[in-house]
Structure 1
Amino acid sequence: MMAASHGISIGLLLLYLGVLGSPKGYSIPEGVAIQSECRDRYLWVHVGSSGNTPQFEAVDAAGVHPIDEKNTSRCGYTISKFKMDGYTTLRASYFSCHTDNQNDEVFTFQFNIIVMDAKNQRSRYPLSQTCSLLLPWSQREVICEEDYMEVTVGRDVPCTTSEGTSKEAWRAAHSFAQNIANSAWQVMFLKNEDEMATIPIAEAHRLGYALSPTPKRVVFRSPYRQNHSEIVMVDGVAVEVIHGTVFFSQKMMVVMIDISVACTINPGYFDGARLLWETPRIMTPLVHSGFGFESKQINVGVESQLLDEGTARARGYTLEVKGLMVQMGVPFGAEGGYRKSLVTNNIYREMYVAFLFYEHVFSHVYTDGSTVETRHRLLRVVDTPLLCRHPFTVDVDALPPYHKTSFEEHTFNVYLGNIPHDVALTGVKLNEKQFSVSDAAEHGYTISKIVHANGTHAYTIRVPFDDKAVRRAVSTFWIKHISINGAYSHELQLLKWYNLFIFYFS
């Protein structure tokens, strides 16, 4: 007599969790979360909204000023393109436009945050915050933001030639400045060692640059890829450089202030296990020739915040000096980065993204023993390629005790594995019978979640043999297909994937 066999066809509905929990902060209006925080060189504003992307306005005594693509990079505002957590981030430099600056030590910001609430109504939320300087200024500070390069220099810093500029070119520039200097500030750009351009401050502003004095410093800011910038190779790494000098006459002197900036533009890469990003240890366009060089500290962080050595080590981050290069490494899935699930061409894929932050503090040592300290900071989004991540189901006892179908208990026990952290099982289709996970128990089914140490999780699904939805067949060797129908949602876009699993039972 032929044995009776039981077949089961299961469709699984998976939902991508595109919006994570709201950060602590203000929850006004309904459906909106706002958080702000003073950090060592900028104000950080984090906005979550169920509606459209938030907009920002800066407010000062002169009025209200929209923060848009026309003025973000010139004014020292960054509306980050890195939105893996579903929130919009604004970073406002302490020297940004419309910020009240008290002696380069206390900075007061006023913004309007414009959001759409849950009822699709436009609302304005005023934000005012005062930040005090906690980390003293280095004599020169260079920041390579997402959308601009900024340098701030103490007014007492000497102006000398850098390694990226020949002595002959520097002497020509110095002589030129002496001949045309007057009481009005002017800026001189030197490109390719022989292309010299001198323009008044008003013209520099018209070209998209920002150049202004503060109580104790000079601030220069530029978008990337300006006409006066050039791409040079430093130890095999592409670096965008602007060789700039501010000069003016004062009494019997010509005052010259070096406002040169240099930012690496190389992407990171993935070696199969870690995200890696490299930058030159000595950024020669910022290093003055003929003087000593002293590296004081190199730090790494994520999302524009530095990490202490213990935290970085606990997360598995690495920071290695390899000859002329510094290499940063972040293990796949490490805390501080984001895993993102999506579907392309009916194939389920995953990527891991980290927003790295690098800082190098170094000094020039002059012949008289004096030093000038530079704090150089770089931000870079580094991501993996799209990696195939195939969910799988197993019905044999390869992974005991999770999914062994039991004849004694007359129960199917199916294991669904390799599910990333941002995906959740929400529904099950058992042949033609469909139900949600929360309703499974009412139908006599048991669904359990299993969390694994590598950040993935799995589910076990137990179904009795005698359930009405189970199809029966009589055969020596019976085969049924298990169809998996998963739906993912990311940034309000619904994506579907289909996969075919074969379940054998005899």
Structure 2
Amino acid sequence: MPFTCAAVIDSHIKALGFFVCLRSRNNMRRPDNVFLWNLTAAVFVLVQARPNMKLSSQSSSSLRSDCAGNLMRLSLDKALAVGNQLEVEAINGTEYHVLTPTLAAQCGYSMASDPWGNTRIYTSLMGCYVDNKDDAMFNVGLKLQLYKTSSSGVISHGVMQTCSYTRWASKEILCDRNYMEVSNYMATPEPQTETKWSAQEVNDDSKINNSPGASGAAHGIWKITFLTPEPLSMLLREAEQAGYSAMKTSSRLVVRSPYNTAETYSENVAGIPMEVLRVSTSYKSQHGLSVVNLAAACPTGGVLFTEAVISWYVPRRISHLMESRVRIVEVHMGINGQKLDKSQMATRGYSLSTTDFHHIIEIPVGAPDGYYKSHAPDYQYHISYTVEAMLEVLWRAENTQDDTRYKVLFPITTPLMPRPLFVEDHTDLAAGTFSVYLGKFLNDVELRNITFSTGVLTVEESNARGFTVQEHSFPNGTKSFSLQVAFNSDVVLKHNPEPVATTYFLPLTFGFMILPEETPFAQSIELQVSLQDVVMPRLSGTCDHSQFYISVEYGSQGPNFQTLVGPQELTPEVADDYEFRENQTHFSLVMPYTAAATVFEVITSDSVRARLDMLLWDPINEWVLDDLYLACYFPLMTTTCYSNGTITAVVAKVQSVPHLDLNSLTLMDQSCKPVFSDNRFAHFSFRADSCGTTRTFFDNYMLYENEISLSDGVAGQTSPIEPEYRQTISCYYVVNQTETVAFSHKPMSNDPDAEIGFGKLMVQMRLAQDSSYRHFYQAGDYPVMKPLRQPLYFEVELMQSMDPQLELILENCWATLEEDRTSLPSWDIIVDTCENHDDSYVTVFHPVMRDARVKIPSQIKRFSMKMFTFINGNNVLKDQIFVHCDSVLCVANSQADGACRGQCVRPSSMRSSTHQRKIRSTDSIHQMQISSGPILLFKSNL
């Protein structure tokens, strides 16, 4: 029946951390009980008897055989073995014996294979099926059958190796992977001719070590007594059936036992666990019955580990093997069954030392004769290091001068060593790319896939998506992997912890596979970076005589916010009422000042100050992204007096009386209520001689007055914290004046006539900090200090005008010592719109270009002059100057004469050389006067 993993584990293997797993190849056309090596995972030899067949030897550079003392060693390179399954047959003359694990341990064969298929097969020169010539020449024959896992093909390799070995000690003890062997020199050589035993008991082919199951008389061995420690006797055939082997050669008696049998036992020697075999062998010779006591003791432990060094301790004195007094003659260490000399040990960093109780071999972890292997217990990355050490000791008994050679092949594997993976974050902020390095791994690890926030991608799929996945190899045999992902990839999660910052978050799980076992494990990491890269949305607005104009720039996050217009959200339905327009970068609104979202702050006799409150709101994070509080005056005639004696009045609800019920307002006669009212306005219309209107005469005027207030019926219901509402209505009429009203017909025009109104325009003059005109001195910065001849950059601007037809002209500018613009002395800077050519440091006009701040360049003038001071002779009158200007507003492109023709348009021949300022032009719309703050002369002490 097939072997299972549990069926072939013994204590020796357990102690060394090895395991065996045998797999049958039922899909191959072979007998059911044939088992094969899988050279990518196996540890022991699989064997089974096969019919006789002719050897067909095939040579291969991947097969190497050599002799290692009392062993023959056969090596298979992974290039030959990897991916195949191996069957090993021992050749005995013309017979082929497929080796099984039991037969291999019984007959002196062992096998070691690393996970990649590098394989070594050891054969004891005293093993079964070895052609032994006088214990001096040994012919070992093996046949290897390699079964391709991907096909039904079979490759055969025949190996014949002859080893010469004559340095036999009186006693040889061999501890191999799966068996213990002891051989003892027989003082009286056995004749090679027929003895007194019958032909039935004698094997004519006695030079070939017979297989188990042959007649005990053929070996001359009669009985084996196992000392366990209680004696247990077995005939040879019984011992062979129990898995043991005993035979005689021309000069030696050989006994072999697998580990962990019923007749072996464990014992601590100098603190080291040993597996012990003690037998008493009775055999027939021509002199009668001889009894030889044999013993073997093999270490099953004694290894200490650090991260850097493996220390293997073997007892120096083994009581079951040594006489009372012995002398150590030779001590050698080796690797993979081959002894090393001192120079080889020094090159590899190995050491061999002896104390009173132990022989100690020290091997650096990672030495080149071993190999590392990856593991993933609990899906965590670990590594182990495996090396096959050998100790060979020769000692001599002082009383008998007999030598004993003690040889141990001892595979060592370190405990699993955790290797937490290092993560190097090489994220490039300038390039906007996550970059991570993950390692280090052994070469038996492959990256198979990466789990992103959107799903799992193989390495090939990741590269196809534009991510960069690379493998990096290092000279020490390790490697790492790297991944690059752009911030704007769809697998990157984004979050805004604050309005102006974005956190980019890349969760990753790397899926690895350990070969050849295909053991999976994973490593999760998270990459995160925060950037101040958010361009906030921005609100801006202006007004004209009747409407608010609002513009909203989206910023870098797009329209991902809520817009609140007054108390209500800007829904599509609300937007339809406000001339909503949008594109990819912004949207705009046009809103009448009477819209429900506005509030009235102040009411005058001819205007109302209305305010619009807007808010950009992030409802997820509850952030105010931007706000705007825009208040403007709009023309509103609250009282109109008609010549027929009718008076109309308008009442608007103001913010200071938010709960005012306009329908509850009355005139002085409380029966006179509004002719119309809503939640914003109430309209009254009444005759001058009604509703309690009073009349007063003075000079040639007649005054009618009334008052709008809350009726007595509701006055007591107002909140005590709200003021009483009063609004006085007054109308003046001229007495004894005749008004003539004419009527004439006129064809209708397509353009309605605009009603003449009144307003205020302001002009400001500012001193810039440099010629870029981006930064200006504020009111708190004056007086400004400037060195002599340092340029002064002035800007004069018409404020709050949206009319592109208006142009600002600087008519005259001059400097004085005092703040009074008419004080003397004074010095002309601009004369009749032009520079003063009598000045040795001529004034320079600077062009004004349209940009984000400058909307109408014609309404801004810029000029510069050099800092100076007034002197009288050689004396400085004062260390300060004030600059004053007269400016005019003109209709652009005016053809009129005077200042409105433009800034400095007079021919040079007509420019006055005097400092007298001309009378301002009658073509100007409006003339304004402006002055700067004090500018102090900066004096250096140097």
Q: Using structure 2 for the length normalisation, give the TM-score.
A: 0.42
Q: In the alignment, is residue 114 of structure 1 matched against residue 136 of structure 2?
A: no
- CA 100–29 in structure 1, closer or farther in 2 if over 3 Å, else same: closer
Which residue matches 1:420?
Answer: 442
Give the corresponding residue for 2:68: 39
2:177 maps to what in 1? 146
The CA distance in 2 between the partners of 1:360 and 1:373, in whole Å, is 10
**CA drift at 1:112:** 2.6
Going from structure 1 to structure 2, the CA distance change for 1:202 and 1:274 (only over 3 Å counts) comes to same
CA contact (8 A) 1:268 1:383 kept: no
Partner residue, 2:378:
345
In the aligned structure 2, how far is the partner of 1:391 from the partner of 1:150?
A: 45
Aligned ranges 1:95-110 → 2 under 5 Å:
95-110=126-141
- Of the structure 1 ranges 199-208 and 136-145, higher mean CA displacement relative to structure 2 is found in 199-208
* Residues paired across the two proteins, number: 442
Displacement after TM superposition at 1:148 (Å): 0.8
In 2, the alpha carbon distance for the partners of 1:310 and 1:198 equals: 49
Letter in 1 for 2:65: S
Separation of aligned partners in 1, 2:262 and 2:474: 53
Tell me if structure 2 keeps the 8 A contact 1:342–1:488: no
Relative contact order (C-alpha < 8 Å, sep 6+): which is higher? 1
Q: Distance in 2 between matches of 1:157 and 1:322?
A: 38
Secondary structure of the structure 1 residue equivalent to 2:105: helix
Spell out the pairing of 1:326-475 with structure 2 (5 A cutoff).
Answer: 326-366=359-399, 371-395=401-425, 403=426, 405=428, 407=430, 413-423=435-445, 447=470, 449=472, 451=474, 456-459=478-481
Shift of 1:145: 1.0
What is the CA–CA distance in structure 1 between the aligned matches of 2:90 and 2:140, rounded to whole Å? Answer: 8
- Conserved 8 A contact 1:79-1:88: yes
Structure-2 separation of matches of 1:434 and 1:226: 52
Would the alpha carbon gap of residues 468 and 251 (structure 1) be closer, same or farther in structure 2, given more than 3 Å must change? closer
Distance 1:270 1:437 in 2: 41
CA displacement, residues 89-144 of structure 1 (integer Å, 9 cap, x when unaligned):
32221122112112222222233322212542152514131222257222221111
Q: Please give the secondary structure, in 2, of the residue aligned with 1:283.
A: coil
Whichever residue aligns with residue 284 of structure 1, its letter is S
Q: 1:170 matched to which residue of 2?
A: none
Is the CA contact (8 Å cut-off) linking 1:264 and 1:279 kept in structure 2?
Answer: yes
State the alpha-carbon separation in 2 of the partners of residues 200 and 143 from structure 1. 24
3-state SS of paired residue (2:343): helix
Taking structure 1 as reference, are residues 204 and 504 closer, same or farther at Cα in structure 2, changes over 3 Å only?
A: same
Q: Partner residue of 1:161?
A: none
Distance 1:118 1:284, change over 3 A: same
Structure number with the higher strand fraction is: 1
Structure 1 pair 434/223, CA: closer, same or farther in 2 (3 Å)? closer
SS state at 2:361 partner: strand
1:84 is displaced (CA, Å) by: 3.6
Return closer, same or farther for 1:467/1:261 CA change in 2, 3 Å cut-off. same
Using a 3 Å threshold, how does the CA distance of structure 1 residues 138 and 85 change in structure 2: closer, same or farther?
A: farther
Partner of residue 87, structure 2: 55
State the AA in 1 paired with 2:512.
Answer: A
Structure 1 window deviating more from structure 2 (416-425 vs 276-285): it is 416-425
- C-alpha distance in structure 2 between counterparts of 1:37 and 1:272, whole Å: 34
Change (3 A) 1:481 1:301: farther
Gaps of 5+ in 1: 1-17, 21-26, 159-182, 396-402
Q: Match for residue 772 of structure 2?
A: none
Q: Following TM superposition, by how much is the alpha carbon of 1:285 offset from its aligned partner in structure 2, in angstroms?
A: 0.9
Say whether residues 1:189 and 2:225 are aligned partners.
yes
Taking structure 1 as reference, are residues 457 and 496 closer, same or farther at Cα in structure 2, changes over 3 Å only?
A: closer
The residue aligned with 2:242 is 207
Distance 1:36 1:484, change over 3 A: farther
Report what 1:4 is aligned to: none
Q: Displacement, 1:281?
A: 0.9
Distance between the aligned counterparts of 2:377 and 2:336, measured in 1? 28
Structure 1 contact 355–379 (Cα < 8 Å) conserved: yes
User: In 2, are the aligned partners of 1:229 and 1:241 still within 8 Å (CA)?
Assistant: yes
CA contact (8 A) 1:448 1:461 kept: no
User: How far apart are the structure 1 equivalents of 2:188 and 2:484?
Assistant: 73
CA–CA distance in structure 2, aligned partners of residues 466 and 28 of structure 1: 61
State the AA in 1 paired with 2:97.
H
**Could you tell me how far 1:235 is from its partner in structure 2?**
1.6
**Cα distance, 1:363 vs structure 2:** 1.3
1:496 and 2:532 are equivalent in the alignment = no
Shift of 1:440: 6.3
Backbone CA RMSD of aligned residues: 3.9
Supply the distance in 1 between the matched residues of 2:449 and 2:514 (Cα, whole angstroms): 15
* TM-score, structure 1 as length reference: 0.74
Distance 1:393 1:157 in 2: 71
| CA distance in structure 1 between the aligned counterparts of 2:103 and 2:40, rounded to whole angstroms | 29
User: Aligned to 1:237, which of 269, 272, 294?
Assistant: 272
Q: Does the 8 A contact of 2:495 with 2:504 survive in 1?
A: no
Report what 1:11 is aligned to: none
Q: What is the match of residue 312 of structure 2?
A: 277
* AA aligned opposite 1:104: D
**CA radius of gyration, larger in:** 2
Kindly indicate whether the alpha-carbon contact (under 8 Å) linking 2:452 and 2:508 is maintained by their aligned counterparts in 1. no
Distance in 1 (CA, whole Å) between partners of 2:473 and 2:429 is 19
Cα distance, 1:490–1:92 mapped onto 2, change above 3 Å: same
What is the SS of the residue equivalent to 1:243? strand
Match of 1:226 in 2: 261
Counterpart-to-counterpart distance in 2, 1:505 and 1:137: 76
